[in-house]
Structure 1
Amino acid sequence: MLKAYAIENLREGMIVGRDVLDHDMGILIGAGTILTKELIYSLLDRPIFSVYIEESEAPIEIPGKEHLLDDDYMRCYETVYEKLGKIFESVAARGEFDAAVLQEIMDERNLRELCDGSKAVSQIHNMTREGSYLVNHCLHVGILAGLMGKWLNWSMLDRYNLVIAGLFLDIGKMKISPDILEKKGKLTDSEFEIIKRHTQYGHELIVRTTLGTNRDILDGVMQHHERCDGSGYPSHLKKGMISRFGRLLAILDIYDAMAGDRVFAKRRSPFDVFAILYDDILNGKLDTEYGVFFLKNLCHSLNGSWVQLSNGEQGRIVYIDESRVTSLPVVQTASGEFIDLNTERGVKIESILTASEVG
């Protein structure tokens, strides 16, 4: 089957289905040639607008589960979720927790399973509304913290502390009335002031535990709502006064909050969230270095993920231009067609698919 592609949509590895001719009818590229970057570049300066590409009628083979959220990941997630919920209840009730339970959560096997970029993003964007939003959110931030620590090549101790700070990020909300936390609709000014106290409550709770002397964890919990331009809370600190944990966790906290805030439970594309988060980076609210680094690495981790497109098709992300933070991916559909979402503005990614949804 032949399909015409605009020159800017050609990709390395495509097979030319019909001779490409110059203005004198000479053959520039013969049918059956496998395109290289050099061949594609050679066409850009010529008055040639499209090339016929040979495409298979058969669907492309579904890749292994390394990029797909699966049952093994969810079993591990649910086990850790239950343990973290018990810790939250214990801290809220008695101001302490069983260190052995935290050690079980921080087991290397759990972190290796949960801190998988594509699966972690898929779980965050496909999360149901069951269970505690607070525990789910903190677990998500802890997982994203594990990813960031690995991407930044931090020491094992720093990565360990960053994950724990993410897990305890909003534990102070355990001291706030559920009537306020779970209120439908807009909060009053006084209710919002109460919500803002959760960073201080969380700091106070952790100080009374065995983690009470860990400055990195305490700063991360206290400062994750501070903003680099001084517009955050509780102390209106500017960038130079905010700890690295505080600046980094602010980004992860916002990302998961936006990914999980789905009106009518509609799933959201991570690329929609990237665009919103990037605005806060450009506006000076979030740390530029950590923010751009997070978005680029998260984009990279999504290569190979399967997605639902707005035109009803399923496809696999095969390329993302990582030189531009706001770049959209190139997707190969199940029928073998390549769609560059940067140029095909009529098609969007609606959601990341799980292993059970592909096919």
Structure 2
Amino acid sequence: MKVYAVEGLRAGMVVGRDIVDEQGNALISTGTTLTKEMIYGLLDRPIFSVYVEEEDPVVGVPSKENLLDDDYLNCYEWVYQQLEVIFDGLVQRGEFSANALQRIMDEKNFNELCDGAKAVSQIHNMRQEGSYLVHHCLHVGILAGLMGRWLGWSVLDQYNLVIAGLFLDIGKMQVPKEVLEKQGKLTDEEFEQVKRHSQYGHDLLAGTTLNANQDIMQGILQHHERCDGSGYPLHLKKETISRFGRILAILDMYDAMASDRIFAKRRSPFDVFATLYDDILDGKLDTEYGVLFIKHLCHALNGNWVRLSNGEKGQIVYLDESRVRSLPVVQTEKGEFIDLNKNRDIKVECILTANEV
């Protein structure tokens, strides 16, 4: 029998001793053959190691199998297509289908797309073609679903936060494309045009049934407000920014920096975390929501493949979640372990998609 970190488990391994929760209740019994779903479930719990009856046949080398989940990918692609249709209808023709949105927010889709650590690994692992704006809004919606669960909110509040995330940047469709996709620094006038997108989005949705939900409407309008009053469009301070606005500000920043854009390459999530934490310390982002997001997302990044600054590829196998600025331990393709907290000469450049791995 051998002890494995949860992040090192693979489908097909056989449990050597009962896996128990915090109260000592058996979650998975001795002799059970692990599935991907079981492993994803363990990643969302404070369980760090599991006894396995037999060693993985590729001991010492991280697995590259099962990086993409077909069910998740199919659900994501379907929701993306439906969201794109809703966006185009609203912006081009002023038409909004509440029924189409309801189909997107079906419980099955909601549960599939916002499924803990699985969701984070999948949106990083999949190759995304089409509109960056729609992908970004869908990512923020998914992250919003995770945040709602991490906060222990009611299902209704979770759903509303997801909807606010899905529509937060729809106003950018009314900003000139050449400004949105400009490479290099925007002029002051161009930046003012971009800054109007949150008001544009709010105004677009004011003519729909969503206008009755002030949580959603405030979240869309306020996702660029900052707790110190330095944001836009209204320069609100923390006490006057809605909880949706404060949360979406964090999720929007994370995905914008961690994803590929036309004018900028994706950054390491750990560089993004450092930026978010600096903004927390500077009083720009909400402390409670920001720290909770970073800690939970760090946990969810376990198992993802990364490109290192020395040119090697590796898999994140451990993160100390007790420290907000913690860096990962990475196992390279050769089976070597690099603790990036100690080896500061090497950094994570980015999370790799399944195709890049």
Matched, 1:227 2:218: no
Q: Which runs of 5+ in 1 are unaligned?
A: 1-11, 15-55
CA distance in 2, matches of 1:189, 1:323: 41
DSSP 3-state at the match of 1:308: strand
Secondary structure at the aligned position of 2:209 is classed as coil
State the alpha-carbon separation in 1 of the partners of residues 131 and 95 from structure 2: 20
Which residue is 2:80 aligned to?
81
The whole-number CA distance in structure 2 between the counterparts of 1:13 and 1:288 is: 34
Contact 1:262 1:268 in 2 (8 A): no
| Residue 62 of structure 1: aligned partner | 63
**Alignment match, 2:112:** 113
Structure 1 vs Structure 2 CA RMSD? 2.7
Please tell me whether the aligned partners of residues 308 and 347 of structure 2 are also in contact (alpha carbons under 8 angstroms).
yes
When residues 127 and 317 of structure 1 are mapped into structure 2, their CA distance, relative to the original with a 3 A threshold, is: closer
CA contact (8 A) 2:73 2:126 kept: no
Deviations 1:142-169 (A, max 9, x none): 1110111111111000000000000010
Return closer, same or farther for 1:180/1:350 CA change in 2, 3 Å cut-off. Answer: closer
Aligned partners of 1:64, 1:261: CA distance in 2, in Å? 24
Instruction: Please give the alpha-carbon distance, in whole angstroms, between the structure 2 residues aligned to 1:97 and 1:109.
Output: 22
Whether the 8 Å CA contact 2:320–2:326 is kept in 1: the answer is yes
User: Deviations for 1:70-113, whole angstroms, at most 9, x for unmatched residues?
Assistant: 44433322211111011011111333311221112112222222
Alignment CA distance shift 1:339-1:181 (3 Å): closer
Q: Aligned residue pairs: how many?
A: 304
Q: Which amino acid aligns with 1:250?
A: A
Q: Post-superposition shift, 1:264?
A: 7.6
CA displacement 1:35-74 (0-9 Å, x = unmatched): xxxxxxxxxxxxxxxxxxxxx9954462874xx3344433
Q: Provide the rounded CA distance (Å) in 2 between the counterparts of 1:130 and 1:265.
A: 16
The structural deviation recorded for 1:270 is 1.2
Q: With the length of structure 1 as denominator, give the TM-score of the two structures.
A: 0.76
* Structure with larger Rg: 1
Render the CA deviation track for 1:240-269: whole Å, top value 9, x for unaligned.
000000000001111111112558875532
Does structure 2 retain, via aligned residues, the 8 Å contact 1:125–1:269?
Answer: no
CA spacing shift, 1:129–1:190, aligned 2, 3 Å: farther
Q: Does 1:323 align with 2:322?
A: yes
Comparing 168-177 with 152-161, greater Cα deviation is found at 168-177
1:205 aligns with 2:193: no
| Stretch of structure 1 that moved more, 98-107 or 84-93 | 98-107
Give the stretch that moved more between structures: 286-295 or 204-213: 204-213
Alignment of 1:171 with 2:170, yes or no, is yes
TM-score for the superposition, normalised by structure 2: 0.77
> Which AA in structure 1 matches 2:145?
G
Q: 1:193 to 1:81 in 2, by over 3 A?
A: same
Structure 2 match to 1:289: 288
Query: 1:299 matched to which residue of 2?
Result: 298
User: What letter is aligned with 2:143?
Assistant: L
Note closer, same or farther for the CA distance 1:299–1:104 as it changes in structure 2 (3 Å cut). same
Instruction: State the SS of the aligned residue for 2:210.
Output: coil
| Structure 1 residues 58 and 191: CA distance shift in structure 2, 3 A | closer
Percent of pairs identical after alignment?
70
